[in-house]
Amino acid sequence: MNYKFRKNFLQRIKNLLIPIVLVGGVLLIFSAWTKYQGYPTICPIKLTTGLPCPGCGMTRAHIALLNLDLSQALYYHPLFFVPAGVFAIFLFQDIRWVYRLHHSKWFYPLLVMVVIGVYIYRMLLRFPFEEPLEYSEKNFLKQIWDNIPR
What is the per-residue pLDDT for 1? 53
What is the per-residue pLDDT for 3? 66
In a domain, 127, yes or no: yes
The Cα–Cα gap between 73 and 138 comes to 26
In a domain, 35, yes or no: yes
Q: Which of 56-60, 108-112, 134-138 has the highest mean pLDDT?
A: 108-112
| Residue 14 φ/ψ, nearest 5 degrees | -60, -45
Q: What is the pLDDT of residues 47-74, one digit of tens each?
A: 888 889 999 889 889 999 999 999 999 9
Q: What is the pLDDT of residues 24-46, one digit of tens each?
A: 888 788 777 777 777 777 788 88
Structural domain containing residue 38: 3-138
The Cα–Cα gap between 52 and 135 comes to 7
CA neighbours within 13 Å on the CB side: how many for 18?
5
| Residue 21 φ/ψ, nearest 5 degrees | -65, -40
Query: What is the tally of structural domains in the chain?
Result: 1
Report CA-CA distances (Å) from 22 to 15, 27, 94: 12, 9, 26
What is the per-residue pLDDT for 4? 67
In a domain, 30, yes or no: yes
Continuous segment of H or E residues that includes residue 108: helix 107-126
In a domain, 145, yes or no: no
Cβ(40)–Cβ(138) below 8 Å: yes
